[in-house]
Structure 1
Amino acid sequence: MTIHTTDKEDINLVVRNYVIGMVSADEALLRQAFHPSCYIIGHYHGALEWLSLDDFVSAIKIEGPAASDAKPFWEIKSVDITGDAAAVTVVDDYIGMRFTDYLSLLKINNRWVIINKLYYYHD
């Protein structure tokens, strides 16, 4: 299977929707970026989090959107695509915290979605 330029563009859009959705507490964007059965996993303030998408969206909504003058920051460090599977490393800021996210994506019905997020919280 050949990697199409549109695959990278589509994956970049998924990552953008994820970060913008998180920073703006936009449930629709988050649900568009993630597969409904995904998990968000990492240590947050020393405690292991193993969240479903519903739990993750609820936590984001409780925090609320970032300050209106805050510019979202994210930098895609790597994208590795093999057929209909992809791995993306992205560094992003969320309400004053920096994370490195390892996103697993799968192309389902011609649409890329995040199926799992493993993160590192930079204390």
Structure 2
Amino acid sequence: MYKENIREIESLIENYFEGIFYGEVKKLENCFYENTLIHGDIKGEAYLKKVSDYIDGVKNRKSPSELNETLMMKIIGVEVMGNIAMAKLHVPMLGYNYYDYLSLAKIDNHWKIVNKVFTHVA
């Protein structure tokens, strides 16, 4: 069961990466649980948005793919305990060097991101 959960989470994260990188909003929406909050730190500035506002931002910007960037996002680690998990990701894009920490939960037999915190590291 553990390995199956890891595979499911890695698949979800790949969809998350593709949603962000290619601007595939539907794919990105499917990764998050409703009303998820996103907290971040971008060059010392606090960032707090509801997931719906975050996805609108992705929808209304040029995607990294459109800007001819190379997809270099990767999973650093995933830890699962029962029906919860944490994932640490490296998400370089749009001139930023982001690191994301995702909290995930298995809800109705599907893994969803229930919280995202991130920072830009110079």
Q: TM-score, normalised by structure 2?
A: 0.91
Equivalent positions of 1:37-116 (< 5 A) are: 37-68=35-66, 69-116=68-115
Query: How many residue pairs get matched?
Result: 121
Over the aligned positions, Cα root-mean-square deviation in angstroms equals: 1.4
1:8-45 residue CA offsets vs partner (Å, 9 max, x unmatched): 11100111111110111111011011111111111123
Counterpart of 1:63 in 2: which secondary structure? Answer: coil
CA distance in 2, matches of 1:76, 1:56: 21
38-47 vs 110-119, which moves further: 38-47
Counterpart selection for 1:33 from 31, 34, 42 = 31
Give ranges in structure 2 of 5+ residues lacking alignment: none
Q: Percent identity?
A: 23
CA distance in 2, matches of 1:59, 1:76: 23
Which consecutive segments of 4 or more residues in structure 1 shift more than 2 A? 67-71
Tell me which residue corresponds to 1:20: 18
Counterpart of 1:20 in 2: which secondary structure? Answer: helix
CA contact (8 A) 2:74 2:91 kept: yes
CA distance in 2, matches of 1:61, 1:7: 29
1:76-99 residue CA offsets vs partner (Å, 9 max, x unmatched): 111110000000001112223211
CA contact (8 A) 1:92 1:99 kept: yes
